[in-house]
Copies of this chain bind each other. A is one copy, B any other.
Amino acid sequence: MSKAARTYVAVFGGYRCDEATAAAAEEVGRLLAEAGCIVVTGGREGVAAAASRGAQHAGGLTLGILPSRDRSEANDWVTVAVPTGLGETRNALVVMDADAVIAFPGLDGTLSEMAFALLGGAPVVSLGGWELARDGEAESRIVPADSPASAVAAALALSRSS
């Protein structure tokens, strides 16, 4: 399949996550892989590891954009690891030019990834965590989802490559 036909979806969330969140992230990864998407993550633990595991077990290709200079920092389910040496600034690259992103609950790094996704114009689907408002109005560009299946369906429907 040619590069032009591939859809890249970034999945991000906490570096630490509970079992229910990990299961949901793994399911998101699996569904994205089954839809033929390349799953992009920050390449490390928590939500990134679970989503990559789900995608790779379903035969998908996963891309991990790492903070350090060291490829071995990637989790075991990253097909292609990209060391950046940018530290947390690499969060901007995780979502750069993504066709859509799916956000799980997380901390400040997750917030920065939501910000850069919005800045870059990617559709943002949220499975909880950060809620953003500006001047008293909820941010309308963030699409809430209540399950892995609905998150993936929304991401694919809104995807810039579709």
Contacts and interface: CB of A to CB of B under 8 A. Distances in A.
Interface of A: 2-4, 8, 38, 61, 63, 65, 69-72, 74, 76, 78-89, 91-93, 96-97, 105, 107-109, 111-112, 114-116, 118-120, 128-136
Contacts of A38: 80
Contact of A2 (B61, B76, B128): B76
A118 B128 contact: no
Nearest to A1: B79
A108 B115 contact: yes
Majority secondary structure of chain A interface residues (helix, strand, loop or mixed): mixed
Given A83-B97, A88-B119, A97-B69, A74 B112 contact: no
Contacts of A70: 97
B88 A63 contact: no
Nearest to A63: B80
A97 B80 contact: no
